[in-house]
Amino acid sequence: MTAPTLATPIGSIILWLVIIFLLILFVLYLVWLFTRQRERRVIPPAEAAHPSSPTPSVEPAQPAAMLAEAVPPSPAAPAEAVPPSLAPPAEAVAETVAAPTPAEAPADDLTRIEGIGPKVAKVLASIGITTFQALATADYSQVKQALVNAGWPYMDPTGWMEQAKLAAEGRWEELALLQEQLKGGRRRR
């Protein structure tokens, strides 16, 4: 009489099933390990809007006509207090008064940019970008930080800025050609 061994067909099948089960568990563990949310530091919007390094604030120049209206002349001052040689030319004052301020500029539909949907447009509006011109001239790092704070660190605004420049200049045909080459705001590979 010989002792039973694992060489029987049923024993080897059970052994293979246990090995396969352990391999499946190991693969699932690896998948879980690499797909779990990693802890990331999110800068609060208030801190992102005000970086730690102070930037000098520049007051917009006020036209001479606005200054004259804001400061009433003193009774002792003569009517012509500013010599004509020092006064700005009338054309410069007219141009300064006629130029629209960013607050007056109507908002553009940023969703016309490939890769920008309504949610991203709201994030851009939260940092003051509501026009094609504003997006075209925006600081890349500021836009990228706003996207990271919104939970979209994988989005790249580079293509949006390129498209916004064309849209701001009114080059719609070139924009359409560029958008055919893009998917989600990025060039197709």
Residue 57 within any structural domain of the chain: no
Residue 163 within any structural domain of the chain: yes
The total domain count for the chain is 1
Greater confidence, 128 or 89?
128
Task: Please give the pLDDT value at position 39.
Answer: 43
User: pLDDT tens, 110-125?
Assistant: 888 888 999 999 999 9
CA distance 9 to 11: 6
Residue 75 within any structural domain of the chain: no
Per-residue pLDDT, averaged over 88-99, amounts to 50
> What letter would DSSP give residue 110?
G
Q: Which domain holds residue 165?
A: 110-187
Task: Please give the pLDDT value at position 1.
Answer: 58
User: pLDDT tens, 138-167?
Assistant: 999 999 999 999 998 988 888 889 899 999
**Residue 82 in this model has a pLDDT that exceeds 60:** no
Task: Please give the pLDDT value at position 122.
Answer: 92
Task: Please give the pLDDT value at position 86.
Answer: 55
The Cβ of residue 96 has, within 10 Å, a number of other Cβ atoms equal to 16
Name the average pLDDT for the chain: 73
Residue 13 within any structural domain of the chain: no
